Chains A and B, each alone.
Chain A
Amino acid sequence: MAAQPKPLPVEGPHYLEGGGILGWLTTVDHKRVAVLYGVTALLLMLVGGTEAMLIRTQLMRPDNHVLTAAWYNQIFTMHGTTMIFLVIMPLETGFFANFLIPLQIGARDVAFPRINALSYWLFLAGAVFMHLGLVTHVLNLGTVPSGLPNAGWFGYANLTESQYSPGLNIDFWDIGLLILGVSSVLAALNFFVTIVNMRAPGMTFMRMPMFMWAILVTTILILLAFPALTVGLIFLFLDRFFGTHFYRVTAGATPILWQHLFWIFGHPEVYIMALPAFGMISEILPVFSRKPLFGYPMMAYSLVLIAFLSYGVWGHHMFATGMGPIADATFAITSMLIAIPTGIKVFSWIATVWGGRLRFTTAMLFALAFIIEFTIGGLSGIMHASAPIDLQQTDSYFVVAHFHYVLGGGVLFAILGAFYYWCPKISGRMLDETLGKWQFWLLVIGFNLTFFPMHWLGTWGMPRRIYTYAPGMGWSTLNFVETIGAYIQAVSFIVFFANILLTLRRGEKAAADPWDGRTLEWSVASPPPAYNFAVLPEGGSRDDFWVQKYGTLAGAHGGGSSAAGATAAAHAAAEAAEHIHMPAPSLYPLLFALGVFLMGVGALAWLRIVILGGMVVALSIIAMAFEYPAHGEEAAESEPVFYRGVDNRKAGMWAFLGSECVFFTALISTYMVYKSRNLAGPDAQILNIPLTSFSTFILLMSSLLMVLALAAFRRGDDKWGRIWLLGTAGFGCIFLGGQVYEFTDFYLQGLYMQTNIFGQTFYTLVGTHGFHVFIGVCWLVTLAIAGFLGKIDSKRSLAVEIAGLYWHFVDVVWIVIFTLVYLMRTVKHA
């Protein structure tokens, strides 16, 4: 092996040391937050895995009675929900990406450390909330029956309506997913801004590690996909709590609306899970093949292409709903197109291995197995893309085999490979390779024994989600074999967890660069110091650390820094490290999440708790705002941060507004679809066009005042800045007043949320916009007060600019709503 000059890591406390329990509860260090995510998700993996074992035990024999129908339905629902939302997503994004983004791009932390902590605590709140039904069921609390969610992980309406699912089960699912959605979007926004804005000076997009590309694209997917789910869940919430009819057939609505909203989220969600796995594989294969990743540009573009296409394929989940031949053909073709970028990835991975000098570590074995297992899942996916075939296979065990090959043999194998690969960096200790190989082979055997026969069960007509089946269907033998396979998988995971526990106790200490790595995270100590890099790296080439070590992408010659140079650099680094200022810990993210949790509990139990929770949330926000100098400004002034052009907060606002676009698009589309399905009662003819034209004019003028305010602050004219700000807020209030008048007027004319589907969609859409205006008014007033206190000057005009972005966005949305809802109100009666 060629000489391996190892840069000397800076000696000093690493990120895991010190702080005590309070330190963990208040941490904003991305590495600690990542570890919190990781530990929580691993525990939930135990829960989801136990659920899988119960499912397989029940199905082992025909007419089995291990579980009742009611328990089986809860357990398969929670198995899917847990594995997707509480295990795979948090492990990939919350754990690995969170830990690695700053380390791979050469930064000290993520863009918004407190939001990072908030994402975690919200995730925990959502995960706990989702399981509360078990507690209320066991303790027999409340007057309404309850239990775990029981309508499947995609909870199709109208089964989820209170008429058909009267228990609290679905409410725990609905509110739990809403909380998890907020957590995911916040995390995605944070990571998006971090990757776009905080890369090392020399690290252009085309020099980023492929894992960073995968995470960047994933965050965009999360930002643009989750709002559709949120809208669907809000409709469900309104239906269940306020008696609206978003999914009720009797009012003219259709339960298919849920399927569209869910799968517009749901198919990108598949790639939200798959792309980080692609990224992990693209990191592991080059290192253990001692070769750079093959076809880097195509690998990056294919990620983007997959993400783009993933928004146009949701219909392939709905072929059986009878969308008609045109829609079927369209979705079949778009779905098949995804095979092309996926093919590029598979063949490029093989080309990466080709001609390499291979080291068969456990991580490498998982990565190699991933290629085959994922390909099998991808190829059965092509069958599902072919609409007529899908009609035989969908909702059968064939589709169960398909998505377990994609998410288990694909994504989970990648995650396990990532554990063996990055554990040394994260924990400072090496996972045991012997146990690792036992785990790998047990899992390969157990996994394929469980899921490959499901292809046959599917073609032999076994529907999914049945808690039992009759003997004589020809399904018994394979089901028995599959259960044996599942138990082998269980043993494999026992080995895995034992390996982790043993490693943490007395694993071999890891060097900074145990695998001869290629990317920047291997240039710092294992585990890294709290500040990551004593001296921020340049990141001037692809596989930057490898080039530092060897001089070229191929590892032919030892090059890079000499030992003496490295020592000198280490001394300089130690000196620099003393002056690094890291963000201070904060308790408010935890309090915020606690408040949200209380609001959820209150919604199901006692309304007063909602108010209490709301107050906790509001106080946390205010308190966080007062922490501001300690977290943002001071740090920004004390060290050079090479933001790429735009401020992090502004970039964050842009990302948020992108997400909002999808949110409003979903609301507006629902209105447009439903307005012509209205059966009885008032419809769009009720709208008062002259009044609304006036308030529209006022709102547009407020945007003008907003521009004037910003211009005034920028040129240092604080007085006029404050006046224009208050003017903007005032015009916003006039608009809101108009809306209050309008709503009251309609209310008196007998149009309520519950009256008909025009009423519910109108109030939901226009009301949600009004709420946005209200938030904007509060924001502007706060800024104006800050202005009076002398806190805003030309240097800090950015705060006004960001509020302005939001305000203009809300105005633009109103122009769309005014046009589509008011001006084009003519109802075409079918």
Chain B
Amino acid sequence: MRVLLRRLMGVAVGGALAGCAGQHHPMNTLVTKSNLASWIYSLFVQVTFWDLLVLAIVVAALALAIFWFSTRVGDPTEPAAFQSDTRLELAWIIGPALILLAITVPTVRTIIRTQPNRWPKNALTVKVIAHRWWWEFSYPQYHIQTADELHLPVNREIHFELTSADIIHSFWVPALGGKRDVIPGQVNQITLIANTPGEYYGQCAEFCGLSHANMRFRVFVQTQDGFKKWMDHQLKPPVNPGSGPAAAGAAIYKNAPCAICHQIRGVSGFSKQYTYGFRGPDLTHFGSRTTIAAGILDNNPKNLARWIANPPEVKPGARMPALGVRGKELDELVAYLESLK
């Protein structure tokens, strides 16, 4: 019976939401790729069903009142001063109360289910640190870090620990579940199991100043094997530039102020001289990422050159300044960074 009711709700709500099929919506909250997102979706379908039911009742009642059970100006009969009816009034207290009960019970159950008392112990831990305006992801169990692109294994419990280096942001990957604010001085948590390999979009959801709109990221959910391969690659030291433009670029990288904020393992570490907020993305395997500048540009030499030439022009307020690297030097620097596969 309950299954049948669920099915009915699904059909009703699915019909109402028709129109989302056929188009590409990389941030669609209704296409769920994790247990967390599915739980939320199922609750959403139930509540939407009740909402549509109530809306239908209200619209029908008002339409009846206007078009059927009323008269127009010119009608000589004086309307009755119908002012109260205890049974009717009780009905529209008890009716909505029952509907609310039907919403509240699954709501509270989902709250408890999605925020377990004890966070999983054997999960893959992912530390998320939000910066203005990019994302730092690190895997403390593997001692690696990356930026703006998150790789996750499928069907394994993942435990996110979220905190911020500066102001409040919000971590949101609609396909994997609801958002969670990323708050300085506080560690928030999400736990979930992604169930389908694929590329998903994420974006900061709490207004965080000038480039809030440009604080995007990608999530790659991979097969267990694929994830292991990626992880093994990330653990390797950076590619040796050898000779040619990339080698020249490596020399420029070391002499330019890049290393103040950026890290390439074995080449330059994060400076201790500056505060946490001065950190830029880890570049050890920069060339293996598909996007740059927090998911707003494809990672190719042309875009990278444009970015390095004047970051605030690409991303308003970007904290990386224009460093004055131009011409041949710029091309060499780009060649070096792109070589860091």
Q: Inside 8 A of A356's CB, which chain B residues have their CB? A: 65, 70-71, 79
For window 342-397 of A, CB contacts with B under 8 Å fall at: 343-344, 346-348, 350-351, 353-359, 368, 371-372, 375-376, 379-380, 382-383, 385-396
Given contacts A164-B209, A340-B100, contact A473 B111 (CB under 8 A): no
Would you call B59 an interface residue if the criterion is a C-beta within 8 Å of the partner chain's C-beta atoms? yes
Residues on A with beta carbons closer than 8 Å to the beta carbon of B4: none
A201 contacts B by Cβ under 8 Å? no
Asked if B79 and A387 make an inter-chain contact with CB atoms under 8 angstroms apart, the answer reads no
Residues of B within 8 A of A355 (CB): 65, 69-70, 79-80, 82
Instruction: Find A388's partner among B65, B170, B178 (CB 8 Å cutoff).
Output: B178
Residues of B within 8 A of A375 (CB): 54-55, 58
Given contacts A324-B115, A386-B103, A392-B179, contact A2 B70 (CB under 8 A): no
Q: Do A332 and B72 contact each other (CB < 8 Å), given the known contacts A358-B66, A463-B203, A470-B296?
A: no
A550 to chain B, nearest CB (A): 9
User: B210 at interface (Cβ–Cβ under 8 A)?
Assistant: yes
Residues of chain B lying within 8 A (CB to CB) of residue A389: 40, 43-44, 47, 107, 178
A669: Cβ under 8 A from any B Cβ: no
Closest to B203 in A: A463
| Number of A residues with CB within 8 Å of any CB on chain B | 100
A387: which B residues are within 8 A, CB to CB? 107, 110-111
Chain-A contact segment, one of B18-26, B278-286, B321-329: B18-26
In the complex, the answer to whether B20 meets A456 with C-beta atoms within 8 Å is yes
Q: Which of B89-97, B150-158, B230-238 contacts A (4 or more CB under 8 A)?
A: B89-97
A320-B80 contact in complex given A159-B167, A350-B62, A354-B70, C-beta closer than 8 Å: no
Contact with B along A301-341 (1 / 0, CB 8 A): 00000000000000000001110110011001100110110
**Contacts A359-B73, A456-B20 given: A291-B62 contact, CB under 8 Å?**
no
Tell me the bound Cα distance from A393 to B96 in angstroms: 23
How far apart are A317's CB and chain B's nearest CB, in angstroms?
Answer: 11
Q: Is B269 an interface residue (CB 8 A)?
A: no
The reply on A643 being an interface residue by CB < 8 A is no
> With an 8 A cutoff between CB atoms, is A750 at the interface?
no
Complex: A456 Cα to B181 Cα, angstroms? 23
Which chain A residues border B103 with CB–CB below 8 Å? 336, 382, 386
Compute how far the CA of A555 lies from the CA of B40 in the bound complex, rounded to whole angstroms.
53
Contact of B73 with A357 in the complex, beta carbons under 8 Å: yes
Q: Are A552 and B81 in contact (CB under 8 A)?
A: yes
A69 within 8 A of B: yes
Q: Would A351 and B82 count as touching, CB distance under 8 A?
A: yes
- By the criterion CB–CB under 8 Å, are A462 and B96 in contact? no
CA–CA, A69 and B210, complex, Å = 6
A129-167 interface mask toward B, CB cutoff 8 Å, 1 = contact, 0 = none? 000000000000000000000011000101100001100
Contacts of A320 in B (CB 8 A): 170, 178-181, 205-206
Contact with B along A284-296 (1 / 0, CB 8 A): 0000011111111
A294 to B97, CA, bound (A): 21
| Contacts A156-B207, A159-B209, A332-B107; A322 near B112 (Cβ below 8 A) | no
A344 touches which of B37, B39, B92 (Cβ 8 Å): B92
Which of A254, A290, A460 has the most chain B CB atoms inside 10 A of its CB?
Answer: A460
Least CB distance from B250 to A in Å reads 32
Alpha-carbon gap, A458 to B73, bound state (A):
43
Interface centre among A348, A379, A468 (most CB of B within 10 A): A379
**B167 A357 Cβ-Cβ under 8 A:** no
| C-alpha spacing A339/B50, complex, angstroms | 13
A70 to B207, CA, bound (A): 13
Q: Are A461 and B28 in contact (CB under 8 A)?
A: yes
Of chain B, the residue at the smallest CB distance from A374 is B58
B81, B104, B296 — which one has the most chain A CB atoms within 10 A of its CB? B81
Q: Check B172 for interface membership: any CB of A closer than 8 A.
A: yes
Residue pair B207, A465 in contact (C-beta under 8 Å): yes
Kindly state whether residue B29 has any CB partner on chain A within 8 Å.
Answer: yes
Q: Are A463 and B172 in contact (CB under 8 A)?
A: yes
Decide yes or no: A325 and B111 within 8 Å by CB, A164-B209, A383-B47, A456-B19 being known contacts: yes
Q: Does A459 contact B (CB under 8 A)?
A: yes
Inter-subunit contact A322/B168 (CB<8 Å): no
CB distance from B63 to the nearest CB of A (A): 10
Contacts of A336 in B (CB 8 A): 100, 103-104, 107
Pick the interface stretch among B138-146, B182-190, B219-227, B240-248. B182-190
B320 at the interface (CB under 8 A from A): no
Contacts of B74 in A (CB 8 A): 1
Interfacial chain B residues near A464, Cβ < 8 Å:
207
A445 lies within 8 A of chain B by Cβ: no
Whether, in the assembled complex, B84 has its beta carbon less than 8 Å from a beta carbon of chain A, the answer is yes
- CB of A554 within 8 Å of the partner chain: yes
CB pair A298 B317 closer than 8 Å: no
Give the distance in Å from the alpha carbon of A459 to the alpha carbon of B110 in the complex: 19
Chain B contact patch, size range: 35 or more
Check A347/B61 contact, CB under 8 A, given A358-B70, A474-B24: yes
What residues of chain A lie closer than 8 Å to B93, measured between beta carbons? 340, 343-344
| Chain B residue with the shortest CB-CB distance to A469 | B213
Is A618 engaged at the interface, CB distance under 8 Å to the other chain? Answer: no
| Interface contact B210-A329, CB-CB below 8 Å | no
Nearest residue (CB) in A for B216 is A470
Given that A249-B185, A332-B111, A358-B71 are contacting pairs, would A339 and B100 also be in contact in the complex, using a CB cutoff of 8 Å?
A: yes
Give the chain A neighbours of B108 by CB distance below 8 A.
Answer: 329, 332-333
Bound together, the chains give a CA A666 to CA B25 distance in angstroms of 44
Bound CA span A448–B68, Å: 25
Whose C-beta in chain B lies nearest to the C-beta of A154?
B207
Which residues of A are found within 8 Å of B80, using beta-carbon distances? 291, 355, 554
Given contacts A343-B96, A375-B58, contact A472 B204 (CB under 8 A): no
Q: Are A164 and B166 in contact (CB under 8 A)?
A: yes
* Also in contact, A391 and B178, with CB within 8 A (given A255-B183, A333-B108, A357-B73): yes
Cβ A554 vs Cβ B55 within 8 A: no
Q: A328–B78 contact, CB under 8 A?
A: no
Task: State A571–B263 Cα separation when bound (angstroms).
Answer: 92
* Alpha-carbon distance between A393 and B48 when the two chains are bound, in angstroms: 13
Is B201 part of the contact surface with A, judged by Cβ < 8 Å?
yes
The reply to whether the CB of A556 lies closer than 8 angstroms to some CB of chain B is yes
A42 adjacent to chain B (CB < 8 Å): no
Which residue of B73, B79, B88, B115 is within 8 Å of A351 (Cβ)? B88
Q: Say which residue of B28, B40, B62, B185 sits within 8 Å of A460 (CB atoms).
A: B28
Please indicate the chain A residues that have their CB under 8 angstroms from the CB of B204 in the complex: 463
Do A249 and B184 contact each other (CB < 8 Å), given the known contacts A340-B97, A344-B89, A461-B25? Answer: yes
Q: Which chain A residues lie closer than 8 Å to B27 at the CB level? A: 460-462, 473-474
Tell me the bound Cα distance from A387 to B47 in angstroms.
Answer: 12
A329 to chain B, nearest CB (A): 5
Residues of A449-482 whose CB lies within 8 A of B: 456, 458-470, 472-475
Residue of A nearest to B57 (CB): A347
CB of A782 within 8 Å of the partner chain: no
Structural contact, A70 and B167, CB atoms closer than 8 A: no
**Given contacts A392-B44, A459-B20, A554 and B188 within 8 Å (CB-CB):** no
A-B pairs with beta carbons under 8 Å apart, 23 shown: A164-B166, A249-B185, A254-B185, A295-B83, A296-B84, A320-B179, A332-B107, A336-B103, A336-B107, A343-B96, A344-B93, A355-B65, A357-B70, A357-B71, A372-B62, A383-B44, A383-B51, A388-B110, A396-B29, A463-B203, A463-B213, A554-B78, A554-B80
Besides A255-B167, A357-B79, A387-B107, 17 more A-B contacts (Cβ < 8 Å) are A1-B74, A73-B209, A158-B168, A159-B207, A255-B184, A294-B82, A297-B84, A347-B88, A353-B62, A353-B70, A355-B65, A358-B73, A458-B29, A461-B26, A461-B201, A467-B212, A554-B79
Contact surface of B with A, Cβ cutoff 8 Å: 17, 19-20, 23-30, 37, 39-40, 43-44, 47-48, 50-51, 54-55, 58-59, 61-62, 64-66, 69-75, 77-85, 88-89, 92-93, 95-97, 100, 103-104, 107-108, 110-112, 114-115, 132, 166-168, 170, 172, 174, 177-181, 183-186, 188-189, 201, 203-213, 296, 316-317
* A-B complex: 5 closest residue pairs judged by Cβ atoms: A391-B178, A461-B27, A466-B213, A554-B81, A474-B25
